[in-house]
Structure formats: C-alpha cells, structure tokens
Structure 1
Amino acid sequence: MESRSNVTLPDRDLIGLILLAFVVALIVRLCCFDLAVTEGSSMSPTIPPGRIIFINRLAYGFRFPWQRHYVLRWSTPHPGDIVVLLSPQGKIAVKRCISLTEHDFFFVEGDNKAVSYDSRHYGPVPIDFITGKVVGIR
C-alpha cells in the first residue's frame, strides 16, 4: 500500500513574490540604506565602538554598488555631517565632514582627534569616496 503525504508545495505565485521581495531588499540594502557596527574609537564619544549606525546611501546621490562614481548627484556633504567613506587606503571609515576644500573635495576628521586617522593625515577626500551619511546611531 502506498503512503501519500498531505504536504503541498507552495504556490508558484508565492515563491515568485518571496523571490521578488528578496531582490528588492537586496537592492535597497546595496543602493539605498545600510546598517553597520562601528569599530575603533575615532568617532568617540559621538559614536562609541560597537554601536550600530544607520546609513543613508542616497543622501548625496545615486550610484551602483560596483561603481565608485555617482550616476546622479543631488547634494554634497555639509560641515557637521557624519559620513561613511572609503579612505584612500581602501578602508571603510566613519568621519565628520569639516569643510569643502576645493571642487568636490572634503576635509573629514574623527571626533576623537587623538586617535583618528583622517584628512589631517591623507588630505581631503573626493565626493566619490563618500558612500553615505550616518542618519541614526543605536
């Protein structure tokens, strides 16, 4: 005698919807918003090590994750903005924008100047190195 299971496979529409939701979530994470955990104390006391930061990747413009240059730009960092950037050494860093130094180059510093490796060491960074703005700290 054959035994049949009463388990049914999910409907194709449901699988398609789940797949679409996954793709949309991935695009949002890569292009629009992100969460990260901070390391180091260069932004202390504003952002102590181990804090979760919420990053708006669309604060200054749109770019694809695999491109360094903005496809479309609508703003630039303002003095006081806390930005996420790719340092000239290729490391992801969180720093405060201090000033615009020349056309689309920004001077950035950590709040903890005694330990921060920033524009005082490597000079101003171009806008294309800035990948987002910190909009929340938890």
Structure 2
Amino acid sequence: MKKLLSFLWEIIKIAIIALLIVVPIRYFLFQPFLVRGESMEPVFHNGDYLIIDEISYRFQTPQRGEVVVFKPPQNSEQRYIKRIIGLPGEMVEIKEGEVIIYQDSKKIVLNESNYLSPGVITPGQEKVFLKEDEYFVLGDNRSASYDSRRWGPLPKNNIVGRVIFRLWPFSVFAKIETPSYSEQGGAE
C-alpha cells in the first residue's frame, strides 16, 4: 500500500510540475491556432494547425510580409489570420489589381509572387493612410478574404502574435519564413 501511495504521489508531483511549465508557455509565450477557411490559400489551408509567437511583438514591431493572428476590429471574440502588407506611416493603394506602398515620396509596387498563386490580382480600388500603430492586412487568397479592404486598418493592440510554425498536416511541417522585400518592392 505504501508503494502505491508513493507512486501516486510521484505522478501528482509530475503533473503539477508539467502544469507549472506548460500553462505559462501556453498563455504567455505561444498558442496554437487552427486555420478555418480559405483566405490564406495557397500558403495555409483549412485545417492547418499553427503555432503563434505571442511575445515577439512586445520587443519588436510587426514587419511587412509576416503572417499574424489577430482580433478583428469588429469582433474581438474571433481570431483571423492575414499577412501584413502596410506599415504605420505608409499609404497603401490598391489599383488595377496591384498593391502599391508609398513611403514618404517613394512608390513601391509590391511583388508578392512568392506567396500568391500565379495570376492572382488584388480586387478593389482604394487608398488608405496608416497612422501610428496601424497595419494594413490582406489574405493571400485575395478574392476570398475579409480583410483591411473591408474593415480598414488593424490596430497593433489587436495583434495576438505571428505565425512561426505549421505543425499539421505533418507532411508540410515547417518553420514559417517571412519574405524580405527588395527596394523595388519585390519579395525575395
């Protein structure tokens, strides 16, 4: 009987230690995210299981091209996933199927060929000036995405974190890389 109680006590201690390690990591550093819908195809698909880094943006600012999970301005109970296109202080223009970024007096036509399907254009005609701590986000599946074209800029405070890993399906398990953009606007 004494051995059984000792064994049970060891299991309880292991469970408590595991909880003390896992709970803070889950609630303060990383969190899982399940993709629902087709707005980020072809990069992410319905049912993909991702890991979100919740701590980086406490020490650095979001960058163009990063895929983020956020609370949409119109419903803080939901979570969306989109790609950051426009940064604070920039003007974003969508014209004739292209995304154009204006930084001060410099015009950059964004080349997004490394993450958009061939032939994809960005529907819409608009110009948006982004204030401090505002971002313009778009889904990679431009014709099937509810994004900044509909509800406007995304406040930085609404960003939950950036996608760092795809865990499922296991056949496409990967660390998620952020494209870098050249001076001409092309993604490298």
> How far off is 1:17 after superposition?
4.5
Q: Is 1:10 aligned with 2:6?
A: yes
Query: Which residue of the partner structure matches residue 97 of structure 1?
Result: 84
Query: Which residue of the partner structure matches residue 49 of structure 1?
Result: 46
Query: Which residue of the partner structure matches residue 25 of structure 2?
Result: 28
> How far off is 1:10 after superposition?
3.4
The amino acid that maps onto 2:71 is L
> How far off is 1:7 after superposition?
5.1
Q: How does 1:1-138 map to 2 (within 5 A)?
A: 5=1, 8-10=4-6, 12=9, 15-61=12-58, 74-88=59-73, 89-90=75-76, 91-100=78-87, 101-137=130-166, 138=173
* TM-align CA RMSD: 1.8
Distance in 2 (alpha carbons) for counterparts of 1:14 and 1:120: 53
The amino acid that maps onto 2:81 is V
The amino acid that maps onto 2:15 is I
In the superposition, the TM-score normalised over structure 2's length comes to 0.60
The amino acid that maps onto 1:43 is M
In the superposition, the TM-score normalised over structure 1's length comes to 0.80
> How far off is 1:121 after superposition?
0.6
> How far off is 1:31 after superposition?
0.8
Distance in 2 (alpha carbons) for counterparts of 1:9 and 1:117: 56
- Aligned partner of residue 20 in structure 1, secondary structure: helix
- Aligned partner of residue 107 in structure 1, secondary structure: strand
> How far off is 1:58 after superposition?
0.9
The amino acid that maps onto 2:163 is V
- Where structure 2 has 5 or more consecutive residues not aligned to the other structure, the ranges are 88-129, 167-172, 174-188
- Aligned partner of residue 26 in structure 1, secondary structure: helix
Count of aligned residue pairs for this structure pair: 122
**Does the C-alpha gap of structure 1 residues 6 and 15 become closer, same or farther in structure 2, counting only changes over 3 Å?**
closer
> How far off is 1:13 after superposition?
6.6
Q: Deviations over 1:85-110 (max 9, x none)?
A: 00012220000001112201111110
